[in-house]
Amino acid sequence: MPVMKSTGLTIIVPTYNEVANIEILIKRIVDTLKDHRISYEILIVDDNSPDGTWKRVMSLNEKYPVRLLKRIYKRGLATAVIDGIKSAQAEKIIVMDADLQHPPEKIPEIYHALFDNDIVVASRYTVGGGIIGWSLKRKIISAGAKLLAYLLLPPSRRTSDPMSGFFGIRKNVIKGINMNPRGYKILLEILVRGKYGKVTDVPYIFKSRIRGRSKMGIKEITAYMSHLISLAKTSGQFWRIILILTFLVILAIVSIAAIFFF
């Protein structure tokens, strides 16, 4: 396996049933970095995919600088990322999805930004970023999730896209910290619990999935809400939930009173 002796960057890709995309992604990463003087490894963290994603990765590790971390009894994107960070050979780490919605061409920019920042977020919502192919419903859900994070968790305001699954961190940001991630939003966990200084955004264009099925659904939305409340409790921000709920109740009462009595 052609992994360089001194690894400067670990690219972590959590996977589950991504056999249709994984080889394409790996090739794009390699093509992107071939003209950059960056020593790197691609670490695929696979949850024993029944479609054989992990087998495809194993067949590629003689040709590309790719390493497989196969998890048999665990499942979930967020915990896969944490296990990947623990296993990473490099201090600088980039996390991205396998579904080709995160462009590998942004990797050099994120990597170089990590020299001056502890966390670098590839953002859909900063100047130059954007989203292609989302329905109005999906956009509303995303905007609502971001608003709730901003209201309940002040550290999330350090970036324009706390929901991003495409980001870079220095490994020591979570060193020695007890992480308890749920669902898909691992960056939110890192922003709240991590030890870091400077954070910056780099823009990217998010595109709809071409192959495979999206894993977004009611289960993931419920997990996000549960995660949000858990983080608010452990970070001492639970009072914000009480305040917001109180405001909403008062607003509802005033609205009903206005309808019936005025």
Are the C-beta atoms of 80 and 72 separated by less than 8 Å? no
Residue 237 domain flag: no
Residues 173-180: contacts with CB under 8 Å, at least 24 apart: 173/118, 173/119, 174/82, 174/85, 179/82, 180/230, 180/234
- Predicted confidence at residue 5, as pLDDT, reads 47
- Quote the domain boundaries for residue 100: 9-231
Query: How large a percentage of the chain has pLDDT more than 90?
Result: 59
Domain count, the chain: 1
Tokens of 96: 């991205």
Q: Which helix (H) or strand (E) holds 35?
A: none
Is residue 196's pLDDT more than 70?
yes
**Of residues 91 and 255, more confidently modeled:** 91
Print the SS3 string covering the chain: CCCCCCCCEEEEEEECCCCCCHHHHHHHHHHHHCCCCCCEEEEEEECCCCCCHHHHHHHHCCCCCEEEEECCCCCCHHHHHHHHHHHCCCCEEEECCCCCCCCHHHHHHHHHHCCCCCEEEEECCCCCCEEECCCHHHHHHHHHHHHHHHHHCHHHHHCCCCCCCCEEEEHHHCCCCCCCCCCCCHHHHHHHHCCCCCEEEEECEEECCCCCCCCCCHHHHHHHHHHHHHHHHHCCCHHHHHHHHHHHHHHHHHHHHHHHHC
pTM for the whole thing? 0.85
Neighbours of 90 (CB within 10 A): 20
What would the mean pLDDT of 204-211 be, rounded to a whole number?
A: 77
- Predicted confidence at residue 247, as pLDDT, reads 55
Residue 30 domain flag: yes
The domain that contains 133 carries what CATH number? 3.90.550.10
Residue 89 domain flag: yes
**Crossing angle of helices 218-234/186-193, nearest 10°?**
0
pLDDT in tens, 105-149: 999 999 999 999 999 999 999 999 999 988 888 888 888 888 888
* Among 97, 90, 30, residue whose Cα is nearest residue 63: 30
What would the mean pLDDT of 222-245 be, rounded to a whole number?
A: 69
Residue 76 domain flag: yes
- Predicted confidence at residue 1, as pLDDT, reads 46
Residue 65 domain flag: yes
Residue 240 domain flag: no
**pLDDT-based confidence at 168, cuts 50/70/90?**
very high
pLDDT in tens, 62-95: 899 999 999 998 788 889 999 999 999 999 999 9
Residues 175-180: contacts with CB under 8 Å, at least 24 apart: 179/82, 180/230, 180/234
Residue 257 domain flag: no
What would the mean pLDDT of 153-168 be, rounded to a whole number?
A: 94
Residue 185 domain flag: yes
- Predicted confidence at residue 6, as pLDDT, reads 59
